[in-house]
Amino acid sequence: MIETRGLARTFTTKHGAVEAVCGVDLTVAPGEIVGFLGPNGAGKTTTLRMLTTLLAPTAGSATVAGHDLRSDPAAVRRRIGYVAQGGGADPLVPVREELDLQARLYDVPDRGERIARLCGRLDLDGLDGRLTAELSGGQRRRLDLALGLVHRPPLLFLDEPTTGLDPQSRGNLWEHIRRMRAEDGTTVFLTTHYLDEADALCDRILIIDRGRIVAAGTPAELKRRIAGDVVTLELGDGPDAAARARDALSGHPGIREAAVTGDTLRLTVENGDRELMTLVRTLDAAGVELAALHLTRPSLDDVFLTVTGRSLRDAA
Ligand SMILES: Nc1ncnc2c1ncn2[C@@H]1O[C@H](COP(=O)(O)OP(=O)(O)OP(=O)(O)O)[C@@H](O)[C@H]1O
């Protein structure tokens, strides 16, 4: 549904050239929900603006929704929906009129029916006559979704869809996005600053940093492959017990890192569940006594920290 090769954008400023996006290769399959994450200034918006035809690339190529981005941007525009960060609705126009206008712009043949169906599905029934300025934050975002979907695009771009919403409205919007994919097979490409959103909603995540994709995979894959599980062993067996445990475990194939602090040994392992028993047996055989043992799963923030050197929470 999206395929880019070496997609790049350089801005020329008074102070010289800014390489906002430096050669991005990415693939999004039909029906996927893909999250695009990165620290501030990483190149997310620039990439999104290129993919939605709002900004011309300075290099590279891309096929979006079946059409070439550079040679046929008009065809791309007809096949995609785009919900910008602040949404596009005019605050002083009633909901129904706003939807009708959008449907006319795209020449939707069965306008009335399409709008009624979207309002039903996105819980906007009964709000037709309200000005968009009079909607709650959640209702407003659902209207933005309806506006992006009115022409039945197979591919929808969402720029930070739930920023500023309370947790309940965020969860509700996730449900609507999931349902849209389940019922219509809509492909979704979204940017977000919320790691829990990426974790709960996205099939796959791409992390961009300084204009380059630095990691890609399912949330579970990224956590396992990049951050790894953490096994913390507390040793109750004299002052050098943690160091003895580390030595006994050295060369163990599943261990990526081992760090001793006081009487604690902290191990980063590929697959904590699988390794746990072997670790305990090895320590037992070496005569090292364990006082306690904890297994901690990494979060997406750990992944983010590993690949960008920054916590997304700090970077956001
Ligand atoms: N019109 C422009 N002129 C010059 N530089 C720009 C322009 N737009 C973006 N940039 C620069 O390109 C880089 C990438 O910006 P971009 O807005 O794509 O990042 P982002 O990942 O979307 O960040 P944020 O999370 O803050 O929205 C930044 O260094 C930014 O300052």
Strand partners, 35: 190, 205
Q: Whose CA is nearest to atom 13 of ligand 1?
A: 20
Helix H or strand E encompassing 314: helix 312-315
Judge residue 74's burial from the number of C-beta atoms within 10 Å of its C-beta, 0-12 exposed, 13-18 middle, 19 or more buried.
exposed
3-state helix, strand, coil in the chain (%, to 5): 40, 30, 30
> What's the average pLDDT block by block, 10 residues per block, for the chain (316 residues)?
97 93 95 93 93 96 96 94 83 89 92 91 87 88 91 93 85 89 93 87 94 92 81 84 91 87 88 88 91 87 79 58
CA 108 to ligand 1 center in whole angstroms: 34
Residue identified by tokens 């979060």 is: 299
Distances (CA, A) of 274 to 29, 52, 280: 32, 44, 11
CA 3 to ligand 1 center in whole angstroms: 22
Q: Give the per-residue pLDDT at 99.
A: 93
Give 117-162 as a DSSP string: HHHHHTT-TT-TTSBGGGS-HHHHHHHHHHHHHTT--SEEEEESTT
Q: Give the per-residue pLDDT at 312.
A: 64
Ligand 1: nearest atom to the Cα of 21: 14
CA 19 to ligand 1 center in whole angstroms: 9
| 13's tokens | 């400023």
Q: Report which residue type is found at 29.
A: A
Q: Give the per-residue pLDDT at 57.
A: 96
**Closest among 248, 286, 287 to 265, alpha carbons compared:** 248
Residue identified by tokens 């069965």 is: 110
Ligand 1: nearest atom to the Cα of 316: 25
Ligand 1: nearest atom to the Cα of 13: 4
Q: Give the per-residue pLDDT at 190.
A: 94
- Kindly report, as residue ranges, where domains of CATH 3.30.70.100 are found in the chain: 229-297
Q: Give the per-residue pLDDT at 314.
A: 57
Distances (CA, A) of 190 to 51, 152, 162, 247, 276: 12, 17, 10, 46, 37
Q: What is the CATH number of domain 2-222?
A: 3.40.50.300
- Kindly report, as residue ranges, where domains of CATH 3.40.50.300 are found in the chain: 2-222
Q: Give the per-residue pLDDT at 302.
A: 79
Q: What SS3 state is found at 165?
A: coil
Residues with CB under 6 A from ligand 1: 11, 13, 18, 20, 38, 40-46
Give the predicted TM-score (pTM) of the model: 0.82
CA 11 to ligand 1 center in whole angstroms: 9
CA 40 to ligand 1 center in whole angstroms: 8
Q: What is the CATH number of domain 229-297?
A: 3.30.70.100
